[in-house]
Amino acid sequence: MVGRPVTSRDLVLGRLRAALAADDAAAAPVDVPRDYRQAAAVDLDQLAQRLTDYRAHVHRVAEAAVADTIADLLPDGGTVVVPPGLPRAWLPPTVTALPDDGLDHARIGAADAVVTAAAVAIAQTGTVVLDASPDQGRRVLSLLPDRHVCVVRADQVVATVPEALARLTPHRPLTWISGPSATSDIELIRVEGVHGPRQLHVILLP
Amino acid sequence: MTRRTFLGMPATTPPVTAPAGVGHLRGEESFPTAARRSLADPQLRRNLRHATTTIRAKSAGVIAEQSDWEQLRTAGAAIKADTLRRLPDLLEQLEEKVTAAGGVVHWAADAVEANRIVTDLVRATGADRVIKVKSMATQEIGLNEALEAAGITAVETDLAELIVQFGDDRPSHILVPAIHRNRAEIREIFLREMPGVDPALTDDPAALAAAARRFLRETFLSTPVAVSGANFAVVETGTLAVVESEGNGRMCLTVPETLITVMGVEKLVPTWRDLEVFLQLLPRASTGERMNPYTSMWTGVTPGDGPQTFHLVLLDNGRSAVLADEVGRQALRCIRCSACLNVCPVYERAGGHAYGSVYPGPIGAVLSPQLTGIEDNASLPYASTLCGACYDACPVKINIPELLVHLRAEAVESRPRPTAESIAMAAAAYTMDRPRLYAAGQRAARLSRLVGRRGRGLPPPLNGWTASRDLPDPPAQTFREWWADR
């Protein structure tokens, strides 16, 4: 090492290696027991109940009724941010679509709602996960509008967190959403609606 | 400390603790002095009791739903123990994955270096303001002060952090930094400090949250640089995860052009699959939810989505010294859930500020003294009754009582001169080794029945022991006398 400048990388790794080198036990492999629950039967009622428990609104309709459901949620002429791959049949004629062709933040934030699909939903925790696929769009689309309408197909629902991770692709940007934006920072009382969408509607298809 | 040297280990690499004079790991006064003041504040005690009682009940409810909770705790502890054992190699692998995904990795030996790295990175963007998502690591190193000294404004965006920042206050809880404030106090702080606040603001928590939303929205959209911490970094994929509630984390991780993440070196998990354990443990132990409202995961840079420049700063700042202690290193498993604070009878009464460090409560009492060296936080291992509630609550099974006792021994050893305690302990050991002397001592103690009145306590220098404890009356007959008589 003499004569060579020691980088912080070398320094930190050297300290960590020295910390472990003094200890024979540190070299012994650690066995990770994974006898916790991996999978369970999917229960759509449980998903609906747990989403509702955290103040999301759940609508269980057939795919043909998605547009009517959304029409009921939004004012006539309301603006809706639309990811590039979203099925257009989901949008009612009563709203004004804002297709994401590089919308700026101001326009996204001023929209009445965003409609997305989902990648996975987890029944036991009441969670929907977005992975930025074309029918969900870039992350900011589901962040700035005040309402998020998320359409989930029954075959996207799993029971447990381990099952969800197994279905997801780590290299995609992932957003796990369990109810609308919330805080418990004031006296630990849960208040819905801080910086993200203040309303979350999940349309659950059979 | 339990450290052994071995052949080939350079004599010049003693454990290096976090430097003094920077960051927030050391209090200005000892725990008993600070705690005495907070104990005299009835409002603070009411706020704390209310908050910790609420969260204990919520957490117990969702943990009861999870029938495999104990298996998850065991798995979580094992994954973290495995990570620590292989930490240097895993860090090198993480660096490789993050770099391959378009991120830039920096290494910071201590708080001074981490602050300099972040300040230089912000300066290079030309920005004079950053938005921040709550991060224990950046509080630990005093990043906001360092940025301010460089003319850069750091805006805390977590509601509780905003309350603390506006109130010119210090955080008092890992998860809920403003836990010591009630709604009326928060309303007053907002009315006094928040630019453009509605003067008709009520103390309804929903109204207070809405005020923060309005105030911060423009800041989120107009600030080009964000600074975050990280809850987890997945080695095999290079993925980082931030767990939050309000959406301020998503704002910081999505809207700006540049993202700088500061993370302690211990935050790794080896595999993608390991997240399945921690994403079940953390929300239930922490906020008492089945899942927190938002979790963001990102891997390097994604073209067209989110920040296009990503820096990851890996922070040592004393962690290598903690790792060097075979007993103490389990404190590095901590996932900052704060369950141990919420169940601790000492925390509930003394509050977070009494611990001096940004890490309060039981985990702070074992982590802070190890990060700084015991000399600088010598009173913290005593800030506990050793009741063990923290160990039972810990989702990664950190044996905090064991660590407290371990560090107390270290605190006694580290004192330069003999103290009343060390003399007393040495005398006790000597006497107990000599039965006749011990019997004589017990008879002598009985004489104090004639002179001492109950509740008066011991004379100096032993009065420290009886300042907070009643001295029991010595019995009329010792056990050994009773045994001999029967």
Residue B466 is predicted with a pLDDT of 64
Q: Smallest CA–CA separation between A185 and chain B, in Å? A: 5
CB spacing of B250 vs A143 below 8 angstroms:
yes
| Average confidence (pLDDT) per 10 residues, chain A, 206 residues | 76 96 75 96 98 96 98 96 97 97 96 98 98 98 97 98 98 96 84 90 98
Q: Are A206 and A154 in contact (CB under 8 A)?
A: yes
Q: Which of the residues B62, B276, B278, B337 would you substitute to probe the A interface, choosing the one with the greatest number of A C-beta atoms within 10 Å?
A: B276
CB spacing of A187 vs B74 below 8 angstroms:
no
Whether residue B56 is contained in a domain is answered as no
**B277 — contact with chain A (CB < 8 Å)?**
yes
pLDDT, tens digit (0-9, with 9 covering 90-100), for A48-67: 999 999 999 999 999 999 99
One-character DSSP codes across B382-439? GS-----HHHHH-TT---HHHHHHHHHHHHHHH-SS--HHHHHHHHHHHHHT-HHHHH
Residue B5 is predicted with a pLDDT of 44
**B216 — contact with chain A (CB < 8 Å)?**
yes
Q: Are A138 and B271 in contact (CB under 8 A)?
A: no
Residue B110 is predicted with a pLDDT of 98
Q: Are B138 and B144 in contact (CB under 8 A)?
A: yes
Q: Which chain B residues are closer than 8 Å to A7 by Cβ?
A: 107
The DSSP element (H or E) to which B93 belongs, if any, is: helix B87-100
Residue B10 is predicted with a pLDDT of 47
**B61 — contact with chain A (CB < 8 Å)?**
no
Query: What is the span of the domain harbouring residue B401?
Result: 32-50+319-414
CB spacing of B88 vs A17 below 8 angstroms:
yes
Residue B70 is predicted with a pLDDT of 98
Which residues does chain B have with pLDDT short of 70? Answer: 1-13, 417-419, 421-422, 425-426, 428-429, 432, 442, 444-472, 474
CB spacing of A143 vs B251 below 8 angstroms:
yes
Q: Where are the beta strands (DSSP E) in B8-54?
A: none
Q: What is the complex's ipTM, to 2 decimals?
A: 0.96
Q: Are A84 and A160 in contact (CB under 8 A)?
A: no
Asked whether residue B311 falls in the same domain as residue B339, the answer is no
Residue B2 is predicted with a pLDDT of 47
Asked whether residue B177 falls in the same domain as residue B308, the answer is yes
Q: How far apart are CA A90 and CA A92, in angstroms?
A: 7
SS3 A193: coil
Whether residue B10 is contained in a domain is answered as no
Q: Which chain A residues are closer than 8 Å to B186 by Cβ?
A: 186
Residue B9 is predicted with a pLDDT of 45
- A-B C-beta contacts closer than 8 Å: 263
Asked whether residue B274 falls in the same domain as residue B375, the answer is no
Asked whether residue B326 falls in the same domain as residue B301, the answer is no
Its pTM stands at 0.89
Q: What is the CATH number of the domain that holds B161?
A: 3.40.50.10420
Q: How far apart are CA B419 and CA A5, in angstroms?
A: 45
Name the packing angle between helices B42-65 and B31-39 (round to 10°). 100
**A26 — contact with chain B (CB < 8 Å)?**
yes
The number of folded domains in chain B is 3
Q: How far apart are CA B354 and CA B360, in angstroms?
A: 8
Q: Domains in chain A and their CATH numbers?
A: 44-205 (3.40.50.10420)
Tell me how many degrees the CA angle B229-B18-B109 measures, rounded to the nearest 5. Answer: 65
Q: Which amino acid is at B109?
A: A
CB spacing of A32 vs B79 below 8 angstroms:
yes
Which among B255, B290, B315 is the end of a domain?
B315
Whether residue B59 is contained in a domain is answered as no
